[in-house]
């Protein structure tokens, strides 16, 4: 019975969020069990181009370091904000969500080449947080019960937290930059005088991922509780 309950809850997770978080957890588990090593996963343009190790284009987004506080912190934020995006502004638009993944991953791969980053998963998480925060500007956030602020400041608060932990903020800045490029091209520029929509989801992605019917039994997470934890809890203004 417990297994069926866990399985049911797992299958209730939207498909893109489920696939990405599962891949991240399994990759970390494989490293912990010493089935593979981080040296087989990290981003290395020379090995990709010269040795045709093309899997590195994907695996560098799946490894967040050994199991510990940093890994759990990133997994929680990845799961929560990826799911809230998929169930919120991308509800019924799975193909568009996948296209955002591909667009963001491509930009990060290009930028990562110049700043010598070997793992881009944390930057990708910040990108998801940034897009969600800009699309929910009226949500009030609470970080560890210490700071109260509106959602658009969340990526910058996380960057400050990384700085306090002694981590490099290059990763956070990369995620914020890529998230802003996507948000500007998708949400801002099309609504400007003389603007237009530059980002168009390819038709084959729509054929693969978009379905006309919605599951009547689907139960999304409430977006009124972004983060869902003491460091990411919030409520909408006026609510």
- Cα distances from 66 to residues 38, 165, 169, in angstroms, run 10, 16, 19
Check if the beta carbon of residue 119 is closer than 8 Å to that of residue 60: yes
Q: Write the pLDDT tens digit of every residue in 40-73.
A: 999 999 999 999 999 999 999 999 988 888 889 8
Check if the beta carbon of residue 199 is closer than 8 Å to that of residue 185: yes
What is this structure's pTM? 0.84
Looking at domain 1-209, which CATH architecture does it have? Up-down Bundle (1.20)
| CA angle (73, 169, 66) in 5-degree steps | 40
Q: Torsions phi, psi of 232, nearest 5?
A: -140, 25
Mean pLDDT (the chain) is 86
Q: Write the pLDDT tens digit of every residue in 150-203.
A: 999 999 998 988 888 777 889 999 999 999 999 999 999 988 888 788 899 999
Q: Write the pLDDT tens digit of every residue in 128-141.
A: 999 999 999 998 88
63 sits in the region (left: phi over 0; alpha: psi -120 to 50; else beta) called beta
- Domain regions of the chain by residue span: 1-209
In the chain, pLDDT over 90 holds for what percent of residues?
A: 58
């Amino acid at each position: 019975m417990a297994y069926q309950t866990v399985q049911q809850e797992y299958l209730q997770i939207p498909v893109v969020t489920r696939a990405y978080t599962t891949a991240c957890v399994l990759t970390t588990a494989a490293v912990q069990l010493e089935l593979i090593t981080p040296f087989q996963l990290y981003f290395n343009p020379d090995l990709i181009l010269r040795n045709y190790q093309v899997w590195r284009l994907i695996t560098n987004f799946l490894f967040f370091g050994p199991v510990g506080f940093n890994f759990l912190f990133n997994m929680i934020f990845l799961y929560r904000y990826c799911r809230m995006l998929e169930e919120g502004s991308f509800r019924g638009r799975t193909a568009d969500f996948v296209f955002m993944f591909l667009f963001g991953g491509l930009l990060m791969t290009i930028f990562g080449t110049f700043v010598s980053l070997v793992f881009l998963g944390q930057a990708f998480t910040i990108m998801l947080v940034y897009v969600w925060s800009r699309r929910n500007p009226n949500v009030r956030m609470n970080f560890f019960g210490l700071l109260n602020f509106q959602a658009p400041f969340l990526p910058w608060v996380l960057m400050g937290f990384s700085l306090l932990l002694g981590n490099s903020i290059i990763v956070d800045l990369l995620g914020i930059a890529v998230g802003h490029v996507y948000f500007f091209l998708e949400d801002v520029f099309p609504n400007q005088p003389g603007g237009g929509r530059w980002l168009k989801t390819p038709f084959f992605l729509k054929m693969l991922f978009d379905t006309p019917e919605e599951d009547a039994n689907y139960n999304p997470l409430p977006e009124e509780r972004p983060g869902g934890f003491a460091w990411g809890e919030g409520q909408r203004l006026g609510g």
